[in-house]
């Protein structure tokens, strides 16, 4: 497990603003990966009723595509997790807003997030949700960044393993931009060297 003591917010800040991006996953590759993950989820839950909890805002595109490939009866709720990445304030601090979370007591719950980076967001979110006593609580992410994790958990479903690059598009942002790119792009190596 990696030592997480380094200042993640400062690292994100160091990324230059006008980075040139390059395609890491095409629209077709994303479609195929999401379909593979949906098949795994269908196989796991069969016809059990499922509550999908999307972690805002990065998971919006994934949730929209994923739920249309799921066969079981399901509900969709959201939570918002903010980690202040790239902001000067409170590095590493995480706030979770669960006002839009439906009642999950005695429900099968699948938390869906965009990316498993250090893993702290998902780890803390699942920890908080476990208190609400769902029947089962699992997680699915679009991306898992290789070699970055510093928590003792792994998501149950991962569509893609990616190298340690800062990525945008398909819901993921850099300072709230690029979420609308239909493909996944990585910042260029020379920019990443500054992280
Ligand atoms: P973690 O807590 O370090 O796993 O970070 C998870 C959150 O940080 C994600 O839900 C994203 O919002 C954000 N994040 C981490 N890596 C990236 C990236 O490469 N691009 C965009 N957002 C990222
Ligand atoms: Mg996020």
For residue 116, give the DSSP letter: E
Rounded distance between C-alpha atoms, residue 158 and residue 39, angstroms: 12
Among residues 65, 113, 114, 117, the one annotated as catalytic is 117
Ligand 1: residue of 111, 112, 117, 162 to mutate (most ligand atoms within 8 A of CB) is 117
Q: Which two tokens stand for residue 191?
A: 């920019």
How many Cα neighbours within 13 Å face the side chain of 5? 1
Predicted confidence (pLDDT) at residue 186 exceeds the cutoff of 70: yes
Residues with Cβ within 8 Å of residue 184, at least 6 apart in sequence? 23, 24, 25, 30, 143, 162, 167, 168, 169, 170, 172
Q: Could you tell me if the CB of 107 is within 6 A of ligand 1?
A: no
Terminal CA-CA length for the chain: 20
Q: How far is the CA of 54 from the centre of ligand 2 (A)?
A: 10
pLDDT in tens, 150-182: 999 999 999 999 999 999 999 999 989 999 999
Phi, psi of 61 (to 5 degrees): -70, -45
Ligand 1 atom, smallest distance to 148 CA: 3
| pTM above threshold 0.85 | yes
pLDDT in tens, 26-63: 999 999 999 999 999 999 999 999 999 999 999 999 99
Ligand 1 atom, smallest distance to 118 CA: 3
Strand partners, 24: none
Q: For position 85, what pLDDT does the model report? A: 58
Q: Could you tell me if the CB of 166 is within 6 A of ligand 1?
A: yes
pLDDT in tens, 66-109: 999 999 999 999 999 987 655 544 446 788 888 889 999 999 99
Q: For position 98, what pLDDT does the model report? A: 87
Q: For position 95, what pLDDT does the model report? A: 86
Residue with CA closest to ligand 1 atom 15: 117
- Could you tell me the CA-to-CA distances from 166 to 116, 147, 193 in Å, in that order? 12, 13, 11
pLDDT in tens, 108-146: 999 999 999 999 999 999 999 999 999 999 999 999 999
Ligand closest in space to the Cα of 115: 1
Give Cα 147 to chain centroid, integer Å. 16
Rounded distance between C-alpha atoms, residue 50 and residue 27, angstroms: 27
If phi > 0 it is left, if psi is from -120 to 50 it is alpha, else beta; for residue 48 that is: beta
């Amino acid at each position: 497990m990696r030592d997480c003591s380094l200042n993640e917010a400062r690292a994100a800040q160091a990324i230059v603003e006008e980075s040139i991006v390059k395609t890491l996953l095409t629209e077709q590759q994303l479609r195929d990966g999401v379909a593979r993950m949906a098949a795994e989820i269908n196989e796991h839950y069969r016809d059990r009723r499922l509550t999908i909890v999307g972690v805002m805002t990065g998971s919006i595109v994934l949730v929209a595509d994923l739920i249309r490939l799921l066969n079981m009866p399901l509900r969709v709720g959201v939570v918002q997790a903010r980690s202040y990445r790239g902001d000067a304030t409170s590095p590493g601090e995480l706030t979770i807003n669960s006002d839009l979370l439906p009642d999950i007591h005695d429900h099968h719950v699948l938390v869906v997030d965009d990316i498993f980076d250090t893993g702290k967001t998902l780890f803390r979110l699942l920890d908080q949700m476990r208190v609400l006593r769902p029947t089962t609580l699992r997680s699915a992410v679009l991306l898992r960044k290789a070699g970055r994790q510093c928590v003792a958990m792994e998501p149950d479903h991962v569509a893609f393993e990616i190298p340690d690059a800062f990525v945008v598009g398909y819901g993921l942002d850099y300072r709230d931009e690029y979420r609308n790119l239909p493909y996944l792009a990585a910042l260029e190596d020379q920019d990443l060297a500054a992280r």
